[in-house]
Structure 1
Amino acid sequence: MVKFAVAITLACGTLVIPGVATADDAYRVSFNGYGPVKFGMTHVAAQRALGVKLVDEYPDADYPDCKFLSPKNGHAGVTFMLLHGHIARVDVSERAISTVSGARVGDSKESIMSLYAGRVLVTPHYYTAPDGSYLTMLSSDRKHGLRFETDMNRVTTYYAGTKEAIQFVEGCL
């Protein structure tokens, strides 16, 4: 009976509430994807991996090869870019979701530079420079990347995905 009680305590200690990240949360952003959703998956495979339906954010948009999908339930602040039928990018707009290294929306530019020391390329933000910038880092194979958008030295949003997808400035452009 004691083993059962310990198992319940441990299970409660690792309970994951959708949309709320914890220190040991499996849903973090990496060069490969967001938790179980990996870049290159189809829409259906990503839904299956995430366990929730992904809905088109802009069903009337004029870009048939590019869509933005959001989880119908949970995972607040997470949006996926579907490019040519495959998950190409994950966008994060909420502080609750971190990268595998612990970076989050709201972090300072200096914090990101320190966390990823020597790996970040800083460029002016297309719309908000000189107050805003892009902090971009590529994977070792240079096929994927992570980009933080800053304004007034604070991360306002970030995304990870294919090298092509993280370069888009406005949606699918």
Structure 2
Amino acid sequence: MTFRNLAIALATSSALAGVTPPASAADWTLRFDGVGPLKIGMTFVQANAQLQRRLRRTPDDLRASEFCDYLETPGHPGINLMFVNDKLARVDVSRTGARIRGGVVIGGDESSLLPAYSSATKAPGAYDASETEWTLPSPDGRMAIRITTAAHHIAGAVGGDAKSVGYIEECN
């Protein structure tokens, strides 16, 4: 069996078994468990190593909370990371064109949410009732993705541990 045939066989058997293959480091699609090579639960040091040590902590006196740090991701505009107690707890995605699990794209039409997020809880936006928040828990309930829509377009998304995804603000 050639390598190509083996790869096709593995992909087919994974799809038939309902198993999602792990995301590659180059795949920056927002998932329940992270984005790209970054996984929810990683320490700051582990995440920083994945990003070639380009993350910079917020100085303690500038943080909203001593236990929380909210950082931009160098080289990936529109992707921000929330560390709580030095562990990656949430990923925020706001760049138009950024992808979210289920084939959803920031800037896309709200109707594209229906196939993958039909079981999501919908609620009015926390600050603007014309916005809609779609929250989908992971199968085990430990993680979630929350997508915000405005004017029937996807405006942004957050993914990570369910408690942190529930926060409206970054580090409060």
Interval containing the TM-score (normalised by the shorter chain): 0.7 to 0.9
Runs of 4+ in 1 over 3 A off after TM superposition: 56-59
Q: CA deviation at 1:81?
A: 0.2
1:27–1:57 CA distance, 2 compared to 1 (3 A): same
Percent of matched pairs sharing the same residue: 27
Matching residue's letter, 2:151: M
1:109–1:58 CA distance, 2 compared to 1 (3 A): farther
Equivalent residue, structure 1, for 2:125 = 125
Give 3-state SS (helix, strand or coil) of 1:44's partner.
helix
Equivalent residue, structure 2, for 1:171 = 170
In structure 2, stretches of 5+ residues that fail to align are 1-24
Asked if 1:152 corresponds to 2:151, the answer is yes
Give 3-state SS (helix, strand or coil) of 1:112's partner.
helix
Equivalent residue, structure 2, for 1:36 = 37
Equivalent residue, structure 1, for 2:46 = 45
Q: CA deviation at 1:47?
A: 1.1
Cα distance in 2 for partners of 1:44, 1:61 equals 18
Give 3-state SS (helix, strand or coil) of 2:99's partner.
coil
Give 3-state SS (helix, strand or coil) of 2:49's partner.
helix
CA RMSD of aligned residues (A): 1.9
Asked if 1:68 corresponds to 2:70, the answer is yes
Q: CA deviation at 1:151?
A: 1.4
Q: CA deviation at 1:115?
A: 3.1
Q: Is the Cα contact below 8 Å between 2:143 and 2:159 reproduced in 1? A: yes
Cα distance in 2 for partners of 1:27, 1:150 equals 20
Q: Which has the higher helix share?
A: 2
Cα distance in 2 for partners of 1:68, 1:35 equals 18
Matching residue's letter, 1:115: A
Matching residue's letter, 2:85: H
Give 3-state SS (helix, strand or coil) of 1:54's partner.
coil
Matching residue's letter, 1:159: V
Give 3-state SS (helix, strand or coil) of 2:70's partner.
strand
Cα distance in 2 for partners of 1:169, 1:99 equals 19
* Number of aligned residue pairs: 147
Asked if 1:98 corresponds to 2:99, the answer is yes
Cα distance in 1 for partners of 2:117, 2:54 equals 33
Q: Is the Cα contact below 8 Å between 2:64 and 2:171 reproduced in 1? A: no
Give 3-state SS (helix, strand or coil) of 1:55's partner.
coil
Deviation sequence 1:48-73 (CA, Å, 0-9, x none): 1233411246761230111101223x
In structure 1, stretches of 5+ residues that fail to align are 1-23
Cα distance in 1 for partners of 2:59, 2:35 equals 21
